[in-house]
A and B are shown apart, each in its own frame.
Chain A
């Protein structure tokens, strides 16, 4: 099932015939042509300056986490609990800086869901974690056996409950032994997953090679347009994720004229007060990818203002997310903070549009680059 060079050339000639004819029309919707020469460099920078450093950061954060939880279980104390909790928040931050890469190795072997199971539909995951704690299931205290269990009991959500949920006060004493060892196994599991993600991306002939050299024979992208579509897709889907999957569950804005009172317990990481730090890390990661990959260089001359507006929106979104601090229930009770959440929701919608339509259209991905996405 491998293509020959001849048919690859046939495909190229087809594309060459198709594109210029459409570009001549001068209509606002007519596709420009993707800058073939610029795309491989942008893809390479996305890998080398964002993805691999991101996974390296995650590998380091989870190593610190595994060490901190191990030290805590060895010598339970308020100070060591604090160190473990701080390492947890560090891991959340590192994960939030790379979770937008929801493709390739992150999709294989359920790594993404094992690392972060969210949203927890119907609280199923929480019940499973509580059952492990109630029954003191020894099999959950070894990372090797934990990995075969439900994706909901081996990731960040489970560890957050261990460190902050009901009964976490026992952790510093002798009664907390099982709970601590379960937390240690989760930490080791997270470290293992982070290590796999990093090594998959670091393999010179693995996914990074496919990202850096689009073309015939490439298992992911036959041409630069397909590669650029994937990369811009990370940004668009990342912004949509923050808006629809992270903000909306706990604050839906105004519906039918009434402002949502909010659902703080549906917020991701509400127990550890990492909700807004995670969201702001998501925005920073998206902006970093946009700039570190040099995506602006894909724009035709004279269209630089599109990148300028995108960077401006990132800046105001990061600023707004950082202005909301403290527990999310307190933020939701505060009229001013809820207005800031409205502001974030409004601007994420605008940002999606600018990336999808303005930027996608300008770099030659057609009328809404994701128009054909999987239908």
Chain B
């Protein structure tokens, strides 16, 4: 299927790519050093049977890493990363875990969770940077990453082949701008992509360049052909509602969570769901919950076995659990600097910048996302 996504030629842009190239050479060096520190023993430690979750973190000395964590929230093993990571992906088929650099990052680290293969560092190609999220194909062979074609201001999906050392074998558009999270839909071949709608360019760091004309959207894209299946834009009154994170429900519905860039005293809808061929439905959260989430959902996860949707807000210091069938708020828990959320044996594992992970606390600042690498589901 690689032939379907021939990379389009990229025009050189001396000024902006210079910065990226410099960062890449940094990553190359740092990445090599990182790989050198990871002894076979360390690699196998990642796979200890009690490891259930993985999450990126910042250590007290300001260095970055990724750790595996038990069902109870205890760190099993940790490895260093050359720069801050953000989103994670895991394939039960290939037993590989990926940590993506935070936007506008240029690296992704692919770890072999069973210690069977050396870690792989991939770097963004010229004219592209990562947005911090991605996912595997159903068979675990291909890795899809959300990327920015910053000269063209369009979102792209980079396709990397795990059977060829994660060589980049192609790309296709996300059919939107500022893509962030994405996930493989229940059919195993469609990507559900959250295009946050915010224009950024590495020349301007993380500056949001188009807050007065954002274009958030959710798209379904066929991985076999790279073609758009459907695109859901937001109504004009919700133009400042950035659609950023997605997960899949037990019934195959796509759940999405948002971050609002408009007035702080508005109470916009923050979470919704849709299925192919259906319009977007927003969950009518109680005003109290919307306010508690501070107009900012940092992460979303579905516990498919129990029919629950988990939301976290580091700005609102809260974790919220919804009934996936009714959208009803089942639980609203104060969690200072709530970061990641992932389905746990019961309910959700919630992490925080202050080092909490479920009931445990470690001397790290957990990053925004948790991935489940073993256990239920």
Contact = CB atoms under 8 A, between A and B. Distances in A.
B368 A29 contact: no
A10 to B, nearest CB: 5
B160 to A, nearest CB: 22
B298 to A, nearest CB: 6
Given A240-B205, A255-B25, A14 B318 contact: yes
Interface stretch (A189-197, A285-293, A364-372): A364-372
B354 A375 contact: no
A4 interface: yes
Contact of A31 (B268, B316, B337): B337
Nearest to B294: A222
A240 B208 CA distance: 15
Interface string A355-368: 00100000000111
A38 to B, nearest CB: 20
Contact of A7 (B198, B206, B291): B291
Interface in A225-262: 226, 237, 240-241, 244-245, 248-249, 252, 255-256
B336 A19 contact: yes
A145 interface: no
A31 B356 CA distance: 12
B361 interface: yes
Contact of A11 (B25, B212, B291): B291
B16 interface: yes
Interface residues of A, number: 60
A371 B314 contact: yes
A297 interface: no
B62 A353 contact: yes
Contacts of A107: 211-212
A192 to B, nearest CB: 19
Contact of A102 (B207, B265, B266, B335): B207
Interface in B326-365: 334-337, 339, 353-355, 361, 363-365
B198 to A, nearest CB: 8
A122 interface: yes
B263 interface: yes
Contacts of A373: 206
B354 A366 contact: yes
Contacts of A8: 291
A373 B316 CA distance: 13
A3 B132 contact: no
Interface string B44-62: 0000000000000010101
A306 B316 CA distance: 28
Contact of B205 (A25, A241, A263): A241
A121 B205 contact: no
A117 B263 CA distance: 27
Given A11-B291, A219-B265, A368-B58, A121 B206 contact: no
Contacts of A357: 62
A310 B292 CA distance: 35
A30 interface: yes
B22 A119 contact: no
Contact of B267 (A1, A120, A226, A237): A1
Question: Which bracket fits the contact residues of B?
Answer: 35 or more
The main secondary structure of chain A at its interface with chain B is: loop
Given A222-B294, A371-B365, A374-B206, A7 B287 contact: yes
A21 B336 contact: yes
A218 B266 CA distance: 10
A3 B267 contact: yes
A339 to B, nearest CB: 19
A44 interface: no
Contacts of B363: 27-29
B264 A121 contact: no
B317 A14 contact: yes
A6 B286 CA distance: 12
B118 interface: no
Given A255-B25, A372-B314, A367 B353 contact: yes
Contact of A252 (B18, B58, B336, B355): B18
A29 B264 CA distance: 28
Given A3-B287, A14-B317, A366-B353, A255 B365 contact: no
Contact of A375 (B86, B151, B335, B364): B86
A267 B128 CA distance: 23
B354 A29 contact: yes
Contact of B265 (A108, A218, A241, A367): A218
Contacts of A266: 14-15
A126 interface: no
A10 B266 contact: no
B13 A122 contact: yes
A2 interface: yes
B120 to A, nearest CB: 21
A1 B86 contact: no
A18 interface: yes
Contacts of A374: 198, 206, 208, 259
A169 to B, nearest CB: 28
A374 to B, nearest CB: 6
B268 A119 contact: no
A263 B11 CA distance: 20
B273 interface: no
Contacts of B315: 226, 372
Interface in B298-334: 298, 314-318, 334
Contacts of A41: none
A351 B103 CA distance: 22
A28 B264 CA distance: 31
A219 to B, nearest CB: 4
8 contacts: A10-B288, A31-B353, A121-B203, A216-B265, A219-B265, A220-B263, A256-B29, A375-B368
Q: What are the 6 closest A-B residue pairs judged by CB atoms, nearest first?
A: A367-B365, A22-B336, A219-B263, A372-B314, A18-B336, A18-B334
Interface of A: 1-4, 6-8, 10-11, 14-15, 17-19, 21-22, 25, 27-31, 102, 107-109, 119-122, 216-222, 226, 237, 240-241, 244-245, 248-249, 252, 255-256, 263, 266, 353, 357, 366-368, 371-375
Given A237-B207, A245-B205, 13 more contacts: A2-B266, A3-B291, A15-B317, A19-B336, A22-B354, A29-B363, A108-B212, A237-B205, A244-B205, A245-B204, A252-B19, A357-B62, A368-B58
